[in-house]
Structure 1
Amino acid sequence: MMLSSEINDEFDFEFLGNVSGQPYLLQTNVYSNGTSGREHRIRLWFDPAADYHTYSFLWNNYHAVFFVDSIPIRIFANNQALGVPYVSRPMRLYVSIWNGDYWATRFGKDKINWNHAPFVASFRNFKVDACIWKGQDSECSASTSNLWWEQEAHQTLSSEQAFMLSIVQNNYTDYDYCKDVKRYPTLPAECNHQF
């Protein structure tokens, strides 16, 4: 599932699957102004194929928060003041199943078992609460503060949300680009300013 603009802004939830008996991996990506390489991967604490779960985004002018069952699993703060591009273009929602035989399988170590095809994704209680972009004078413009997601209560995480996020980061993180010093000898500017 992804939110994507026409000019390479994107938020992704990507289910990478698993090896039998191992936790399922959920990867999130952020592309902003065409800049990629901001992946986070967590080990899910449940089998996502066994029952329905809620995967959601809160995206406003302050941050983008990824949630699983109302638990924040990742935050990408608006750090434009540090020169970090922030996602600010109108987006559409896309859902697909596609062959990630290399990048989604530990770089080809665990091959997709095609005997399990066809692969199916199903949804229920799908909801969208967003504004419809209608150009510069749209109700979605950055100067608009009457939208619920721009209100003060949603500009930072609550103390309970911050606590839950720290549990996920400390116990379920499989990969965090902000800790990948081999890939980024000089970490991206946002890595020390995510809250």
Structure 2
Amino acid sequence: MSSSKAFMMLLMLSVVSCNLLIMAASSSAGDFYRNIDVTFGDQRAKILDGGKLLTLNLDKTLGSGFRSKKEYLFGRIDIQMKLVPGNSAGTVTTYYLSSEGVTHDEIDFEFLGNSTGNPYTLHTNVFSQGKGEREQQFHLWFDPTKSFHTYSILWNTHRIIFFVDNIPIRVFDNLESIGVPFPKKQPMRIYSSLWNADDWATQGGLVKTDWAQAPFTASYRNLKANACLAGSSSSTCVSTTAEDKAWQNQALDAAGRKRLRWVQNKFMVYNYCSDRKRFPQGFPPECKRSRF
């Protein structure tokens, strides 16, 4: 065999192998059987439709939850969720990234239920080295119980961006230069749970869970992680295309900043950087540098 023919065969084999890897990654994306472990709740967590759908349930005895099999160090994580309908007061549905240990890092979406007719409160927070207390809360511009919506966490070395249906709602910049800890060294898994928190979740605990409405159910689909596996180099990230790797340096463009201002002006209901009663001696340093 000539060297040119051998080269062409190797090239074709390389292309086929690459395509098979991409197909395998694509087929496993959103497959809950392959991507998650149930962490508590036993049969209250159910994987359905051949792995494409997952439901978490809460009854008076116990809630349920899951976590990703893999750990990631930076990435963009997307999941579609449909929240507990009707009277969800006292319940909390979570979707977050977290490392382990006392000085853990964490990036939170928490959906605080409410009585029928009142909106959910979307609670966000960022922990670094075990310290959080960076809460921002929002009401959504749609009913999150009627259909699936996409909730995304983008986490790179420069910033964390929270998205709802690809609309940015919050940015937490890396401001280590002014002494603000930023989560960048501890690998995190994807977590979600549905549990009872009626001692604080709804109107500060004034509205309790109505167990006559149980079991409460939240639904999930299309979990996707364009991310770097823990312990891997950037060249072995799960992402397979330039478009999928855009998150690694992503920032908001002018349109993104406009959307962010729209959300924060119309739908933000709490911002720790505006809570003078909580910080009588002055706001945390990142509040002074926040552009949004």
In the superposition, the TM-score normalised over structure 1's length comes to 0.89
Residue 157 (structure 1) aligned with residue 255 (structure 2): no
2:192 alignment partner, one of 95, 105, 108: 95
Query: How many angstroms apart in 2 are the aligned matches of 1:9 and 1:84?
Result: 13
- Structure 2 counterpart of 1:10: 106
Structure 1 counterpart of 2:209, one-letter code: I
Where do residues 116-131 of structure 1 align in structure 2 (5 Å cutoff)? Answer: 116-131=213-228
Alignment CA distance shift 1:106-1:140 (3 Å): farther
Where do residues 72-83 of structure 1 align in structure 2 (5 Å cutoff)? Answer: 72-83=168-179
- The CA deviation string for residues 115-144 of structure 1, in whole angstroms up to 9 with x for no partner, is 22112121122211111111xxx3159xxx
Where do residues 156-175 of structure 1 align in structure 2 (5 Å cutoff)? Answer: 156-175=251-270
Q: Which runs of 4+ in 1 moved over 3 A?
A: none
Q: Which protein has the larger Cα radius of gyration, Structure 1 or Structure 2?
A: 2
Report the identity percentage: 49
* Aligned alpha-carbon RMSD (Å): 1.6
Query: How many angstroms apart in 2 are the aligned matches of 1:49 and 1:66?
Result: 20
Query: How many angstroms apart in 2 are the aligned matches of 1:13 and 1:160?
Result: 23
> Which structure 2 segments of 5+ residues have no match?
1-94, 236-241
SS in 2 for 1:120: strand
- Structure 1 counterpart of 2:277: 182
Structure 1 counterpart of 2:108, one-letter code: D
User: More displaced, 53-62 or 107-116?
Assistant: 107-116
Contact 1:30–1:38 (CA under 8 A) maintained in structure 2: yes
Query: How many angstroms apart in 2 are the aligned matches of 1:113 and 1:44?
Result: 23
Aligned residues: 185
Where do residues 135-154 of structure 1 align in structure 2 (5 Å cutoff)? Answer: 138-140=232-234, 147-151=245-249, 154=250
Give the structure with the higher percent helix.
2
- Structure 2 counterpart of 1:51: 147
Residue 113 (structure 1) aligned with residue 210 (structure 2): yes
SS in 1 for 2:227: coil
SS in 1 for 2:221: coil
Residue 62 (structure 1) aligned with residue 143 (structure 2): no
Contact 1:133–1:140 (CA under 8 A) maintained in structure 2: no
Contact 1:23–1:45 (CA under 8 A) maintained in structure 2: no
Report deviation, 1:108: 0.9
Give the structure with the higher percent strand.
2
